[in-house]
Amino acid sequence: MDEHIVDVLRHRVGKDERAAKTHDWYTATILALRDAIIDRWMESTRRTYDEGGKRVYYLSMEFLIGRLLRDALSNMGMTRDMENALRAQGLDLAALEEMEPDAALGNGGLGRLAACFMESLATLDIPAYGYGIRYVNGMFRQRIDDGWQVELPENWLAHGNPWEFERLESSYRIGFGGEVIAEGDGVVWEPAEEVEAIAVDTPVVGWRGKRVNTLRLWTAAALDPIKLDAFNAGDHIGALADQVRADSLVRVLYPADSNAAGQELRLRQEYFFSAASIQDIVRRHVQYDGDVRTLPDKAAIQLNDTHPSVAVAELMRLLVDVHGLEFNEAWAVTQRTISYTNHTLLPEALESWPLPLFERMLPRHMQIIYAINSRVLREARKAGLDDAAIAKISLIEESGERRVRMANLAFAGAHSVNGVAALHTDLMKVTVFAELHKLYPARINNKTNGVTPRRWLQQCNPGLTAIIKDAIGDGFLDDAEKLSALNALAGDAALGERVAEVKRANKVALADHIKKTMGIRLDPDALFDVQIKRIHEYKRQLLNLIETVALYDQIRSHPERDWVPRVKIFGGKAAPSYHNAKLVIKLANDIARRVNSDPSVGGLLKVVFVPNYNVSYAERIIPAADLSEQISTAGMEASGTGNMKFALNGALTIGTLDGANIEIKDRVGDDNIFIFGLTAEEVAARRADGYDPREIIESSRELGQALSAIATGVFSPDDPDRYTGLMGGIYDHDWFMVAADFDSYAAAQRAVDTRWEDGAGWRESAIRNIANVGWFSSDRTIAEYARDIWKVM
Ligand SMILES: *Cc1c(COP(=O)(O)O)cnc(C)c1O
């Protein structure tokens, strides 16, 4: 490695050792590692071709992969070698790792799931491609200015990306608009506009380097990048308009869709990447198999949520219009190939597109969707479903403005529709998909999410990993469920002390980072209580903040009591157009400023909002957390994966019976988790029979005081009415049941204090969490998909 890295520095980076800057070494390090990866990559690809095996294709609008260097080194088993090679040059690997930008290709849990799945697919030696978009700017970077979120463009490609390979030979024309013209027996679509989709590949290394798969992201180019006649006529900007239009397709993730242009761009993005991916998949199959009808034997296409749903219509279009299959035969091939994962029950989050927009942009696909719909609705009629049920099954929303329902399209076009946690899957069957489930009762199944233990234990928490190895051997590195051997040692005081020492060291490291970046001093002996995730009303950061205010009041009123010192850490981005979520960020910062500068709390309470929460920040915070806040309104969080990462790192959960929290509770045991609040069933019942938050607020002194303090400007003296509306929402309707759950939440927090004061008891619970959440490895999840849905294992 020593010689190789110097050779790479000279010949590929073009620098001499003496002239090289740290960034040159960083690039050389990745390129040298990449050389080793490429050998495995080619071998993996060759093996798949030779075996004629089935491939899995994972289509996702997001891949929140974070940094790759540490992960790839560790999975290749080359960390030690690289460290030594760099040390010989006077360089520190850890410092180089810090230079890598987080790939900003995702937004939250759904995108991180796709990244964990890619790693587990390679680990389980399953041939797979991830397909998405290579966003130049991706998700915005969050800055906090005077407590407010400010969105800045994320420039993760500014210094180039040494991981990727542009594949100019893998490019496809993607059409938009135009007309469908009858021709002979069939039709031809003549698009008004075409752009070129070009593949950019990144290798994905599995654990122990068994297999290297491909993350294939599409970038866009104009067919005619410059109109020379226009340019020469003096229209220098107009001459480049096509290129700008193509470029806008791959600029940002989730452009604001509050205006018509933004909506149109989103649908264009979805079609762009779905169509390029489907064309690539069909081309590969036909090239090696010759017969498009055998596609389902060689390809399993998983749609991660509805963003790629239009792939159903695109595959039908290729099969019917290009390969000449009969509609029925094409439909059978499509359904046998495609499967769909649902990620949300929130009706406002179920994607649908205005029919006129869809028809204008994708006229042929609209015809195909009508044809699919007619088939589905005839089946529904034959099955005896009534008009009301049929209206819900239709791929077209008919009431009000007509819209194309992407979830119904995905459901109809798939042989498997899965939820991501047991409760979520149960609720799917009785809420959003109740009618479709009646029509196709075998289709819905559950695949509880998981996280990769390589990134979320081994790499982010090497201290804890070393202790576990000492205690139970290293079998858990290949099978996370072997962590259960720790159960026999959960009461071992010496092990408890060692686990606590590592936790403290991780807290010191986080506190140092926060001191350096934010200037806030944290006590590493305080309980680190963490809520990091997207800011959303259903995730109820507000419940946590209101309880923080109540605690602040209590500490000031009863300074004589033995309060457990707490650090409340918040982090997360709000969607740019989500007013209330942005206000919650400001509130967290207003509370932090007030509490942190109040000498009367005597350091017993600190509040921090960390800016720009992302994968790398998560890897820093989660190993340092004592308490994991998973407090969504029951029935609203599909699964959550943050909850799994925290438990794996020995944090105890305070949470509702929602998403995967329920399954975590079942595994770690009631004594090692703090459950509170209404169940999903109770939430639904309360909403149905006229829930009155005012009544509850009047009967809860602590809650009433906290709400009125916030509402009247105690934390916003510069703008006393800032939170009047936000608090008014809780008094008036409180859709997310903050008031209903407050007392139960506050009581659970005091139970947390009691458990914390019993140090040995807390440490035992921490070990029981680590011991019993190996099942939430994404290896287990992927093995289930492989066996039940993709039929590749
Ligand atoms: C795991 C993860 C998430 C998902 O967190 P939830 O608590 O499940 O919402 C979001 N963002 C990042 C960066 C993550 O690592």
Cα 770 to Cα 759: distance, rounded to the nearest angstrom: 17
Measured by CA distance, the residue closest to atom 1 of ligand 1 is 642
- CA 153 to centroid of ligand 1, rounded, Å: 21
- Give the position, in ligand 1's atom list, of the atom nearest the Cα of 659: 8
- CA 404 to centroid of ligand 1, rounded, Å: 30
At 701, which helix (H) or strand (E)? helix 701-711
By most ligand atoms within 8 Å of CB, the mutation choice from 119, 452, 460, 533 for ligand 1 is 533
- CA 308 to centroid of ligand 1, rounded, Å: 21
Which one is catalytic: 534, 566, 568, 573? 534
The CB density around residue 620, as the number of other CB atoms within 10 Å, is 16
Cα 636 to Cα 424: distance, rounded to the nearest angstrom: 8
Cα 111 to Cα 344: distance, rounded to the nearest angstrom: 14
Question: Residue 268 in 3-state DSSP?
Answer: helix
Report the C-alpha dihedral over residues 483, 489, 492, 496, rounded to 10 degrees: 10
Measured by CA distance, the residue closest to atom 15 of ligand 1 is 615
Q: Which residues contact 751 (CB under 8 A, 6 or more apart)?
A: 674
Measured by CA distance, the residue closest to atom 8 of ligand 1 is 640
pLDDT value at position 399? 86
- Give the position, in ligand 1's atom list, of the atom nearest the Cα of 615: 13
Backbone angles phi, psi at 609, to 5 degrees: -110, 110
Radius of gyration in angstroms for the set of CA atoms belonging to the chain, rounded to a whole number? 27
Which one is catalytic: 343, 447, 573, 722? 343
Q: Token pair of 304, please?
A: 């991660």
Which one is catalytic: 641, 653, 656, 781? 641
Q: How many CA atoms lie within 13 A of 282 on its CB side?
A: 24
Q: Are 105 and 111 in contact (CB under 8 A)?
A: yes
Q: Are 487 and 525 in contact (CB under 8 A)?
A: no
Which one is catalytic: 266, 415, 503, 533? 533
pLDDT value at position 256? 82
Measured by CA distance, the residue closest to atom 9 of ligand 1 is 533
- Give the position, in ligand 1's atom list, of the atom nearest the Cα of 618: 15
Identify residue 10 by its one-letter amino acid code.
R
Q: Token pair of 103, please?
A: 């790939």
Cα 510 to Cα 524: distance, rounded to the nearest angstrom: 9
Q: Token pair of 536, please?
A: 């959303």
CA nearest neighbour of 777 among 327, 27, 271, 120: 120
Residues of the chain with pLDDT below 70 are none
pTM over 0.75: yes
- Give me the residues paired with residue 157 across strands: none
pLDDT digits (tens, 9 = 90+) for 115-172: 999 999 999 999 999 999 999 999 999 999 999 999 999 999 999 999 999 999 999 9
Instruction: Measure CA of the first residue to CA of the last residue in the chain; give whole Å.
Output: 36
pLDDT value at position 761? 98
Strands 403-405 and 396-397: antiparallel
CA nearest neighbour of 133 among 277, 333, 313: 277
pLDDT digits (tens, 9 = 90+) for 77-126: 999 999 999 999 999 999 999 999 999 899 999 999 999 999 999 999 99
DSSP state of 777: B
CA distances from 201 to 120, 132, 214, 700, 770 (A): 18, 10, 6, 57, 35
Cα 8 to Cα 13: distance, rounded to the nearest angstrom: 7
DSSP letter string, 47-79: HHHHHT--EEEEE-S----B--HHHHHHHHT-H
pLDDT value at position 254? 85
Question: Residue 674 in 3-state DSSP?
Answer: strand
DSSP state of 233: T
- Measured at the alpha carbon of residue 465, what is the angle toward residues 459 and 470, in degrees to the nearest 5? 155
Cα 7 to Cα 4: distance, rounded to the nearest angstrom: 5
Q: Are 623 and 600 in contact (CB under 8 A)?
A: no
- CA 143 to centroid of ligand 1, rounded, Å: 19
Measured by CA distance, the residue closest to atom 11 of ligand 1 is 108
By most ligand atoms within 8 Å of CB, the mutation choice from 71, 534, 612, 619 for ligand 1 is 534
Please, what's the b/e burial string for 462-486 (b: 16 or more CB within 10 A of its CB; e: otherwise)?
A: ebbbebbeebbeeebbeebbbbbbb
All structural domains of the chain: 1-52+69-101 (no CATH), 54-66+102-448 (3.40.50.2000), 453-684+742-777 (3.40.50.2000)
Cα 291 to Cα 610: distance, rounded to the nearest angstrom: 54
Measured by CA distance, the residue closest to atom 14 of ligand 1 is 615
- Output the ligand 1 site: residues, CB below 6 A: 108-109, 112, 533-534, 614-615, 618, 640-642, 645
Backbone angles phi, psi at 788, to 5 degrees: -90, -35
Q: 343 catalytic, yes or no?
A: yes
- CA 361 to centroid of ligand 1, rounded, Å: 34
Cα 204 to Cα 245: distance, rounded to the nearest angstrom: 31
Q: 382 catalytic, yes or no?
A: no
Cα 574 to Cα 143: distance, rounded to the nearest angstrom: 11
- CA 245 to centroid of ligand 1, rounded, Å: 32
CA distances from 701 to 548, 558, 594, 697, 710 (A): 15, 15, 22, 7, 14
Cα 2 to Cα 352: distance, rounded to the nearest angstrom: 55
By most ligand atoms within 8 Å of CB, the mutation choice from 67, 102, 112 for ligand 1 is 112
The CB density around residue 284, as the number of other CB atoms within 10 Å, is 17
Identify residue 641 by its one-letter amino acid code.
T
In percent, the amount of the chain with pLDDT more than 70 equals 100
- CA 112 to centroid of ligand 1, rounded, Å: 7
pLDDT value at position 355? 97
- CA 113 to centroid of ligand 1, rounded, Å: 9
Q: Are 609 and 617 in contact (CB under 8 A)?
A: no
pLDDT value at position 284? 97
Backbone angles phi, psi at 273, to 5 degrees: -80, -30
pLDDT value at position 727? 98
- CA 637 to centroid of ligand 1, rounded, Å: 12
At 311, which helix (H) or strand (E)? helix 311-317
Measured by CA distance, the residue closest to atom 3 of ligand 1 is 109
Cα 458 to Cα 777: distance, rounded to the nearest angstrom: 12
Cα 311 to Cα 315: distance, rounded to the nearest angstrom: 6
Could you give the residue ranges of the DSSP H alpha helices within 88-160? Answer: 93-99, 109-123
DSSP state of 206: P
Which one is catalytic: 645, 722, 755, 768? 645
Question: Residue 658 in 3-state DSSP?
Answer: coil
Q: Which region holds residue 674: left if phi is over 0, alpha if psi is between -120 and 50, else beta?
A: beta
Cα 761 to Cα 754: distance, rounded to the nearest angstrom: 10
Cα 145 to Cα 165: distance, rounded to the nearest angstrom: 38
CA nearest neighbour of 120 among 251, 242, 211, 183: 211
- CA 613 to centroid of ligand 1, rounded, Å: 9
- Give the position, in ligand 1's atom list, of the atom nearest the Cα of 572: 11
Cα 221 to Cα 248: distance, rounded to the nearest angstrom: 10
- Give the position, in ligand 1's atom list, of the atom nearest the Cα of 630: 7
- CA 614 to centroid of ligand 1, rounded, Å: 8
By most ligand atoms within 8 Å of CB, the mutation choice from 64, 154, 632 for ligand 1 is 64
By most ligand atoms within 8 Å of CB, the mutation choice from 424, 532, 653 for ligand 1 is 532
Which one is catalytic: 405, 539, 566, 667? 539
Dihedral sign, CA of 726, 729, 734, 738?
A: positive
Measured by CA distance, the residue closest to atom 10 of ligand 1 is 108
pLDDT value at position 148? 98
Q: Which residues contact 789 (CB under 8 A, 6 or more apart)?
A: 300, 302, 339, 415, 416, 418, 445, 447
Measured by CA distance, the residue closest to atom 4 of ligand 1 is 109
Q: Token pair of 762, please?
A: 């807390």
DSSP state of 90: T
Q: Are 648 and 453 in contact (CB under 8 A)?
A: yes
